[in-house]
Amino acid sequence: MLARRLALLALALVVASAVIFAVVDLVPGDPAVFVLGTGARPDTLAALRQQLGLDLPWPTRYARWLGGVLTGDLGTSLAYKAPVAGMILDRVQVSLPLALMALGLAVAVALPVGMLAASRRGRPADALAMGAAQVGIALPNFWFAMLLVLVFAVKLRWLPAGGFPGWSDPLAALRALVLPAVALALPQAAILARVLRSALIETLGQDYIRSARAKGLSRAQVLRRHALRNALIPVLTILGMQFSFLLAGAIIIENVFYLPGLGRLIFQAISQRDLVVVQSAVLVLVAAVILVTFLVDLAYAAVDPRLRGR
């Protein structure tokens, strides 16, 4: 089964690379003109095209690009004249830990809140928890981020207001990521808590919950031992989607905290028409999404024996 999934994973990556290549490379528009501007002299343009390999037929260019990707060479940025692989790697060092921290925080908050709300369904604790979740979803996270900066960086001076010192000092790096992670986690935690609550409530109405109560399990035991795991499937689906979003979608928060993350890199590359960077960065993100989906599928099978062996 794993072999089958891995084969599908590889196929998805190849298809994704082809689509990205087609979109970036085959659509009208000349990267050489983007670099040199519309006023450039034709012979300069031709020289640059040759230097970039744009004069070659597209199958050769695709093969070259894919070959480069496989050997870790993602090309050279048009704007910065630097290897794209290194640039992306630098940004991943910020974005990946940030996404993981935010997701961890979201789960840590959502799990108890969702369980509490489900077990006290229709009571004040439920109303309070779901009201808070509603606020969490509604709050614009850049506003919440600025609030966090004001309180914890400016007033209390516990944490830095922005910037990223690099991983040479891990403690400082982590401290720099705390506030952005909290700002990112809030709406995700609220969404997760709501999904978990409704999944739990549905599960708690199932016949096997009644069977478990008839065995003598208390409400709390039934919730923990039987309902929670059965409610995990929708939660895992949401988690996978959230992780993909957090990896590149954190651009607003990255801007608020001056973090050199992937989102900002792509944003800058697009505005500078740095197509080599766009192409490779998008590929990396797509690969990450496909990989996360793969991991979520594996997690489904780990949770649910009925999905094993398919």
Contacting residues toward another protein, per CB under 8 A:
1, 3-4, 7, 206-208, 210-219, 221, 225-226, 229-230, 303-306, 309-310
Give 135 or 302: the residue with its C-beta nearer to another protein: 302
For tokens 């006290």, the residue is 120
Q: How far apart are CA 68 and CA 3, in angstroms?
A: 26
CB of 233 to another protein, least distance (A): 10
Give 1 or 19: the residue with its C-beta nearer to another protein: 1
CB of 171 to another protein, least distance (A): 40
CB of 9 to another protein, least distance (A): 13
Q: How far apart are CA 21 and CA 68, in angstroms?
A: 13
Q: How far apart are CA 238 and CA 254, in angstroms?
A: 22
Give 141 or 203: the residue with its C-beta nearer to another protein: 203
**What residues pair up with 76 in beta bridges, in sequence order?**
83
Is residue 83 classed as helix, strand or coil in its secondary structure? strand
Listed residue (138, 139, 150, 165) closest to 256, CA to CA: 150
Cβ atoms of 295 and 9 closer than 8 Å: no
| HSE-up (13 A, CA, CB side) for residue 130 | 17
CB of 124 to another protein, least distance (A): 16
CB of 122 to another protein, least distance (A): 9
Please count the residues of the chain.
310
251 CB-contact burial (10 Å; exposed 0-12 / middle 13-18 / buried 19+): middle
Give 59 or 216: the residue with its C-beta nearer to another protein: 216
In 260-297, which positions are buried (b, 16+ CB within 10 angstroms) versus exposed (e)? bbbbbbbeebeebebbbbbbbbbbbbbbbbbebbbebb
Q: How far apart are CA 226 and CA 284, in angstroms?
A: 38
Give 15 or 219: the residue with its C-beta nearer to another protein: 219
The secondary structure of 242-281 as a DSSP string is HHHHHHHS-HHHHHHTT---HHHHHHHHHHTT-HHHHHHH
Give 126 or 304: the residue with its C-beta nearer to another protein: 304
Give 39 or 305: the residue with its C-beta nearer to another protein: 305
CB of 204 to another protein, least distance (A): 11
Give 175 or 213: the residue with its C-beta nearer to another protein: 213
